[in-house]
Amino acid sequence: MLQSRSADASLIAHAGRSYFPIALIARLPFAMMVVGVLTLVVASRDSVALGGINSAFVGIGSAVFGPMVGAAADRFGQRTVLVPVGLTNAVLLGVFPFVVQGSAPDLAVLAMAFCIGASAPQVAPMSRSRLVAIIRQRMAPDRHEKVLSGTMAYESAADEVVFIIGPFLVGLLATAIAPWVAVAGASVLTFVFVTAFALHPTGKLALAHHTDVPQAPASQLLRLRLVVVVVGILGIGFFFGSTLTSLTAFMETHGQASQAGLLYGLMGIGSAGLALGSAAFPRAFGVGWRWLVFGVVLLGGTIAFASADSVVAVAVVLAVMGIGIGPTLVAQYSLGSDRSPVGRSATTMTILGSAVIVGQSLASAVVGDVAERSGTATAMLFPAVSAGIVVLAAVVNLVLSRRRA
């Protein structure tokens, strides 16, 4: 059980020292799924388009069932929901390599990919929900704003780290051993760490928070100020998927397709660092403006990416693009947390988390098909389109905020 702590104690003291490493590793399989499925299917069935479609089915499964998992956690508690969901997902990931490498038809592979997405444990949004509950219940009111800002910065940095490290690990394992090892590894991580996360005492605290406060109507999830955040974070998902898939096609033309994940990891250098540093930004540099400014940085990097013609140039541009991603995600998740309807924090955070993987998956499918039909150069234009969506949503968000003010 959670020990009683002073209201002046740190968030780490309230949550427990084991919580943060467990929550960080537990979200890693979620980031490995889309890329792992893409890499395994491309390697086993020799089709970038088929790999992209399968990764899209992972995202569709997550989009359909992810918010339901979050809503169930809001109602019944995270432990009750996460344990069976995590075990189911671990089994499906463990079986998937046998299905892909066997004689099963493509339709069966697609069905498995959909089920993997549908059963994906929503660790990141549930972690945010738990920490917000701790801050609001256990900490002094005058500390809420500052600690919440730092927490959202950490959580976004953690997401950024795993969404970069996940593909990096997939690329590393695929290159060093075999593509199926990454999916099998995700199965093991899910079985061990998602279960540990589900059983952590903080899960009960989050449930207590929701049972004490009446839930707002589900219709409030459709408020325009929240929808624009979902659209913006969907654009980040489009960016992840289009960048990784076009990068894979680019590296394939250079005879190094399995190393795309390694190169992709370069984005994490500036991204995670600036995400963590977001808590130090001055108050005058508002969250909405951070989203717009760093979104423009991301857009500039994607335009340069589209014209890069060498591995070295692509590596440099990826590092620059990383500077724009982290602070943008921090701003979006902070706005999402602030605009979450009462009693529906897990649902809201799950919708935001699902939007990332849905965007990533759909973009992987579309860009994979474009790469095969129209070539790598055309595929490398899509990250700029994705960044454009992020910037446009940021502008709309500022307009809505001014009208509300």
Q: What percent of the residues of the chain are helix, what percent strand, and what percent coil, each to the nearest 5?
A: 85, 0, 15
Backbone angles phi, psi at 373, to 5 degrees: -85, -40
> CA-CA distance, 57 to 114, in Å (whole number)?
5
What pLDDT tens digit does each residue of the chain (405 aa) get? 455 555 556 777 777 778 888 888 888 887 788 778 878 887 887 777 787 788 788 878 887 887 788 778 777 778 888 889 989 999 999 999 999 888 888 899 999 999 998 898 888 878 877 887 777 776 767 676 677 767 777 777 777 677 767 777 777 787 778 888 888 888 999 999 999 988 887 776 655 444 455 666 666 677 888 889 899 999 998 998 888 888 888 887 776 666 676 777 777 766 666 666 666 676 777 788 889 999 999 999 999 998 888 888 888 888 888 888 878 888 888 788 777 776 666 677 778 877 887 887 788 778 878 887 888 889 899 999 999 999 999 999 999 887 765
**CA distance readout (Å), 142 to 42, 138, 146, 278, 373:** 53, 12, 8, 20, 57
pLDDT for res 210? 47
Contact 269, 160 (CB under 8 A): no
Structure tokens that stand for 405 in this block: 């003010």
Contact 322, 268 (CB under 8 A): yes
Count of CB atoms within 10 A of residue 310's CB?
Answer: 10
pLDDT for res 96? 92
Residue count of the chain: 405
Contact 183, 44 (CB under 8 A): no
Closest CA to 71 of 358, 353, 354, 350: 350
The structural domains of the chain, ordered by start, are: 16-404 (1.20.1250.20)
Backbone angles phi, psi at 163, to 5 degrees: -75, -15
Q: Tokens 């060093």 correspond to what residue?
A: 176
Tell me the pTM: 0.74
Closest CA to 118 of 98, 93, 146: 93
> CA-CA distance, 193 to 208, in Å (whole number)?
23
Contact 33, 116 (CB under 8 A): yes
The whole-angstrom distance between residue 156's C-alpha and the CA centroid of its chain comes to: 9
Closest CA to 169 of 268, 295, 92, 241: 268
Contact 79, 194 (CB under 8 A): no
pLDDT for res 369? 80
> CA-CA distance, 202 to 208, in Å (whole number)?
10
Q: Using only C-alpha atoms, what is the Rg of the chain?
A: 20
Closest CA to 242 of 46, 30, 55, 50: 55
Per-residue buried b or exposed e for 10-37, using 16+ beta carbons within 10 Å of the residue's own CB = ebeebbeeebbebbbbbbbbbbbbbbbb
Contact 85, 121 (CB under 8 A): yes
